[in-house]
Amino acid sequence: MKQYNVGIIGATGMVGQRFAILLENHPWFNVKVLAASPRSAGQTYEQAAGSRWKMTVPMPESMKNMILLDATADIEKIAQQVDFCFCAVDMKKDEIKALEEKYAKAECPIVSNNSAHRFTPDVPMVVPEINPDHIEIIKAQRERLGTKRGFIAVKSNCSIQSYVPALHPLRKFGITKVLACTYQAISGAGKNFETWPEMIDNLIPYIGGEEEKSEQEPLKVWGEIKGNEIVKAQSPQITTQCLRVPVSDGHTAAVFVSFENKPSKEEILQLWKDFSGVPQELNLPSAPKQFIHYFEENDRPQAKLDRNLENGMAVSTGRLREDTQYDYKFVCLSHNTLRGAAGGGVLLAELLAAKGYFD
Ligand SMILES: NC(=O)c1ccc[n+]([C@@H]2O[C@H](COP(=O)([O-])OP(=O)(O)OC[C@H]3O[C@@H](n4cnc5c(N)ncnc54)[C@H](OP(=O)(O)O)[C@@H]3O)[C@@H](O)[C@H]2O)c1
């Protein structure tokens, strides 16, 4: 496979640090540029991020002495050195939208973890096992932006990464309604227990904007390309409640679902077992071998025990049973900063690379 030079925009942040770890020994992608805010620019990665390193493994040796560039002021310079960039920055939505478009217009494709462009109609929001075909909208996006190479592709929010994969293979039974309560880890807020001690022995019943994302994003992922845009699916109806819980990593969801044609429990389990997508077919480096794992034990999946399954890229499910109000209920779990953030971004970039979008 061809080698690609890449940059990480927002390298000093929680998701950026995760990108650095995942890309350290990546077989296709070589990190050439690290960038962050003007506060960090000009410092080495170690100077800027060493004291706020949140990963359990150390900062990659090969990146410690790289000098951080300014993500906004150095766009042209960055675009000249890389084939594409990952982007995960904490800025205002309008600023992120403008920043990502500037990179695309400088002919530097952006694989983004930010939410700013998720509902831009010609920007694909991709879970590679579910809607890999949505990357075909990039042709229309390039026409709008007037670019040859440059484009923006985004991954979806971490909250939907467990229940949308579990529901996807069941769509053929006509999913009518879904209720999902998510129990979300503190790393989803860029925090750990040292930086957020108030979360020890606590639960916060509100995560700003999360319920809207959790209800709307699945409909775009399940949408269809029509002309120059991705048109959202009309169903199912989805309602959610999103809670912050005292867990370091791993978002769990308790899901209730009803169908037009109710499947048997055995049919659901078989579909989960057999669910394999384009990343598995193409044998992409970050693809889990088995996307959905079902646990028979009543006390699984557990965040602490199961979030790292298949390097944190698989989805765990359990407790599938009939419900009195809905047809079925079950529990599912995914690692929010791996599958749900940087790992999902790397897998999307692998799909785009394999399909020639960075050439
Ligand atoms: N944490 C998660 O699990 C998760 C999951 C999915 C998506 N996301 C999204 O990913 C993005 C980053 O999240 P995070 O948790 O990594 O945030 P974070 O830890 O606060 O890091 C923010 C990053 O943005 C950079 N930044 C801030 N202001 C900037 C500016 N004006 N110009 C350029 N860079 C700037 C920071 O650089 P400095 O260090 O120089 O300030 C830092 O590298 C957010 O949009 C978030 O919604 C996060």
What is the rounded average pLDDT of the residues 287-314? 98
Q: Are residues 225 and 311 in the same domain?
A: yes
- Please state the three-class secondary structure of 276-344 as a single string: CCHHHHCCCCCCCCCCEEEECCCCCCCHHHHCCHHHHCCEEEEEEEECCCCCEEEEEEECCCHHHHHHH
- Is 171 a member of any domain? yes
Task: Give CA–CA dist 71/58, Å, rounded.
Answer: 24
Distance 324 CA to ligand 1 centre (A): 42
- Closest listed residue to residue 31, CA positions, set 249, 357, 356, 342: 342
Q: Are residues 180 and 114 in the same domain?
A: no
| Mean pLDDT score of the chain | 97
- By percentage, how much of the chain surpasses pLDDT 90? 99
H/E segment holding residue 243:
strand 237-244
Q: Are residues 199 and 297 in the same domain?
A: yes
Is the per-residue pLDDT at 1 higher than 90?
no
Q: What is the pLDDT of residue 135?
A: 98
Q: What is the pLDDT of residue 127?
A: 98
Inter-residue contact 341 to 18 (CB < 8 Å)? yes
> Can you give the CATH number for the domain in which 226 is found?
3.30.360.10
Q: Are residues 56 and 176 in the same domain?
A: no
- Catalytic annotation, pick one of 26, 117, 134, 251: 251
Q: Are residues 244 and 100 in the same domain?
A: no
The residue whose CA is least distant from atom 1 of ligand 1 is 188
H/E segment holding residue 177:
strand 175-184
- Catalytic annotation, pick one of 85, 87, 108, 158: 158
The domain of 277 spans 160-334
Is the per-residue pLDDT at 305 higher than 90?
yes
Task: Give CA–CA dist 16/66, Å, rounded.
Answer: 14
Q: Which of 8, 14, 72, 126 to mutate to test the pocket of ligand 1 (most atoms within 8 A of CB)?
A: 14
> Can you give the CATH number for the domain in which 28 is found?
3.40.50.720
| 158 catalytic residue (yes or no) | yes
- Is 117 a member of any domain? yes
Residues with CB under 6 A from ligand 1: 10-16, 36-37, 39-40, 71-72, 88-91, 113-115, 158, 187-188, 190, 336-337, 340-341
Q: Are residues 279 and 152 in the same domain?
A: no
- Closest listed residue to residue 276, CA positions, set 314, 306, 311: 314
- Is 308 a member of any domain? yes
- Is 359 a member of any domain? no
> CA distances (Å), 355 to each of 14, 305, 333, in order?
29, 35, 29
Q: What is the pLDDT of residue 234?
A: 96
Q: Which atom of ligand 1 is nearest to the CA of 70?
A: 33
Q: What are the tokens at 321?
A: 């049973």
What is the rounded average pLDDT of the residues 202-226? 98
- Is 34 a member of any domain? yes
What is the rounded average pLDDT of the residues 242-252? 98
What is the rounded average pLDDT of the residues 77-106? 98
Is the per-residue pLDDT at 344 higher than 90?
yes
Q: Are residues 152 and 171 in the same domain?
A: no
Q: What are the tokens at 131?
A: 């809607």
Largest interatomic CA distance in the chain = 60
